[in-house]
Structure 1
């Protein structure tokens, strides 16, 4: 078994420098931010195309579904490749593939939904390949003691983008048009592929025969050595499949039917993003002693979002619940990513991360598919209440395992 990533001062490691002065981290941060911005932009830009009647709602659904398929297919493959070869190379080729496919989506706009869907599969594959590779590359580029701050900085960049980008994108659409914005997402993917730095000498295994199934099973075996990871992943999957899905379907309905406008929808969504930004800022400074329990409590806070929609209440209550949920999700995310980078064997980080993304995000579409008919048959209050209870119970159950207290099998706090 490869030992967890630790640093020995006796080896003469160079003195730590602030992350803002570290050019390698800044390149990594900018590349990851470009990836997040490109990922966020595509559905928003295509939504603008629907508003401008350049794309039908059905075609939009097909293209976004195709992107999800590409994501799910690429995540496990990229996890294996990034652990076998160079993490930097995986990011490079993933970014280049998505950059090349983005103009094809623009080319098919208003002409061929099939062409757009085929290109969206490639874009989704680029997105899926980047996620585990970036996780592993962060562990190579950033010193262990700085990784929590690095992960907080990355997630804060995504949240700032979510706050600022909608208005900026809508303004650019007026000036440049949807077609040009789609080309712009390709430019972002190009930055994603070209900008990040190389990591340490990678865990290349070119001397052995490539065996995807065997390598992937090896990643699963590594994940099973970390009970806190299995427990936390189960809780995260439950929260995303129920709480995220329920609020994604119910919030627009509640805003329209109970409050008579889109104000609550917009305010709650903005509140969630602002809360997540605050949560990322908090975790860039705070390293709790029992960080696993704190992380699970943060994940459970998402249950406040569906709970606030069960019965009609003042809009401020809904917004406050979403702010708390946003804070909580980053209180979970930052220690969670950092623990994977620190505790998992360095040559298996990408595969374990791919399991994380494959299960937690992979089951989200299934939750969305089930949620709409469930609300129609059972009523929104009953479904929302059940989902809120699951959001509270799943992290609480995960916290019961002793290793979940510190997200570490040996119980040591970092």
Structure 2
């Protein structure tokens, strides 16, 4: 295993992993805290969906601009500034919750601000991995970075559920603010080159057009971004709206935190699996594993046993992580460096543009047809859409690049 963790010997990669893992710790607490803050204010499932949808919509609106910035200015500076600003906003939100001055409108407004700030650096953060390790260690670096983030989220979800139940949502948001501040310090210490991906005087729309053409030139890329539209349309609300209500009401508030922790445990096991298992057609295997994500909503729909819900969450995380590593590595290995942030911005927009719609509609639709029945529909759509994507020859045939020998290349 030591050779598999080789990327951690690179200083900049250690700082990147430390920053992303630390902020992931706090960010795992934030959705648990936000959901129960809305419920404590008397919010319904529909109102909870609207609050979470506002945050998601802000991310979608901002992330394309963040992709252009990531190929124009220093990605390091962008990440540092975004984390610092998020720390300040979350600290204010924590103070509002702890003093009892919160309202649904205020939670929504501050969620929009945080979503915009976080989205600005999202594409740059994804594109940063390739700048911190040699190409020969990129596959290991992708897996190790994701293991660090998801391991932190396990702790965050578990502690977040207990902390919200014991002390209230405000303290969980305060921890999130502190982790953003630590992340900003890690990013400030990075020493990586700035790769300029746009020509001087180019317009934002022109830069986006270049990124869009890069996406459309690869069938596997635009097809799976499209599949993600449908996936997140149904699943975002299942986790963000129905999960806290169904699991929280059935097993207690702390149980929802444990369910999310089990989800993250599946991510970690999936990440460890990808350190050793590297199939030639990794994207094909990853898409097949993605169909396992249906296990979580199906378990919430049919089971009155917490153990089965936790198992469904674990299987969901396992399948999604194997896919995510294959997907991330496919992008890193096939997209030119000077367009990487813009491609990641389209990936994030394509993956999450439908999530606000799903979050807003989940409450009224689920209340009309029944929570359990809608969760069954969600599981069916998630499994079917993943398997249908395998009909594409481009998805099935894309091969993992063989890395060059260690020591013959440097970070890009």
Q: Same fold (TM over 0.5)?
A: yes
Note if contact 1:276-1:326 (Cα within 8 Å) is conserved in structure 2. Answer: yes
Matches of residues 233-248 of structure 1 in structure 2 within 5 Å? 233-246=225-238
Cα offset, 1:381, TM superposition: 5.3
Cα offset, 1:380, TM superposition: 4.5
Q: Give distance in 2, aligned partners of 1:382 and 1:181.
A: 32
Cα offset, 1:134, TM superposition: 0.7
Do residues 80 (structure 1) and 80 (structure 2) align? Answer: no
Cα offset, 1:204, TM superposition: 5.1
Do residues 261 (structure 1) and 254 (structure 2) align? Answer: no
Cα offset, 1:124, TM superposition: 1.6
1:374 corresponds to which residue?
A: 365
Note if contact 2:155-2:261 (Cα within 8 Å) is conserved in structure 1. Answer: no
Output the TM-score relative to the length of structure 1.
Answer: 0.81
Alignment equivalent of 2:193, drawn from 200, 207, 223: 200
Note if contact 1:291-1:406 (Cα within 8 Å) is conserved in structure 2. Answer: no
2:410 corresponds to which residue?
A: none
2:338 corresponds to which residue?
A: 347
Cα offset, 1:287, TM superposition: 0.7
Do residues 98 (structure 1) and 75 (structure 2) align? Answer: no
Q: Give distance in 1, aligned partners of 2:152 and 2:43.
A: 25
2:267 corresponds to which residue?
A: 276
Equivalent pairs counted in the alignment come to: 393
Output the TM-score relative to the length of structure 2.
Answer: 0.82
Cα distance change, pair 125–253 in 1 and its aligned pair in 2 (3 A): closer
1:356 corresponds to which residue?
A: 347
Q: Give distance in 2, aligned partners of 1:192 and 1:341.
A: 23
More deviation, 295-304/104-113:
104-113
Secondary structure of the 2:251 match is coil
Q: Give distance in 2, aligned partners of 1:273 and 1:171.
A: 16
Matches of residues 390-405 of structure 1 in structure 2 within 5 Å? 390-405=381-396
Cα offset, 1:293, TM superposition: 1.1
Cα offset, 1:368, TM superposition: 2.5
Q: Give distance in 1, aligned partners of 2:244 and 2:183.
A: 33
Q: Give distance in 2, aligned partners of 1:177 and 1:388.
A: 32
Query: What is the RMSD of the two structures over their aligned residues, measured on CA atoms?
Result: 3.5
Cα offset, 1:171, TM superposition: 7.0
Cα distance change, pair 169–327 in 1 and its aligned pair in 2 (3 A): closer
Alignment equivalent of 2:291, drawn from 300, 304, 324: 300
Cα offset, 1:23, TM superposition: 1.4
Alignment equivalent of 1:122, drawn from 99, 102, 113: 113
Cα offset, 1:350, TM superposition: 0.9
Cα distance change, pair 402–373 in 1 and its aligned pair in 2 (3 A): same
Note if contact 2:259-2:310 (Cα within 8 Å) is conserved in structure 1. Answer: yes
Note if contact 1:295-1:336 (Cα within 8 Å) is conserved in structure 2. Answer: yes
More deviation, 181-190/321-330:
181-190
More helix by share: 2
Q: Looking at both structures, which has the greater relative contact order when contacts are Cα pairs under 8 Å and sequence separation is at least 6? A: 2
2:216 corresponds to which residue?
A: 224
Cα distance change, pair 56–150 in 1 and its aligned pair in 2 (3 A): farther
Note if contact 2:56-2:355 (Cα within 8 Å) is conserved in structure 1. Answer: no
Unaligned runs of 5+ in 1: 1-15
Q: Give distance in 2, aligned partners of 1:183 and 1:312.
A: 34
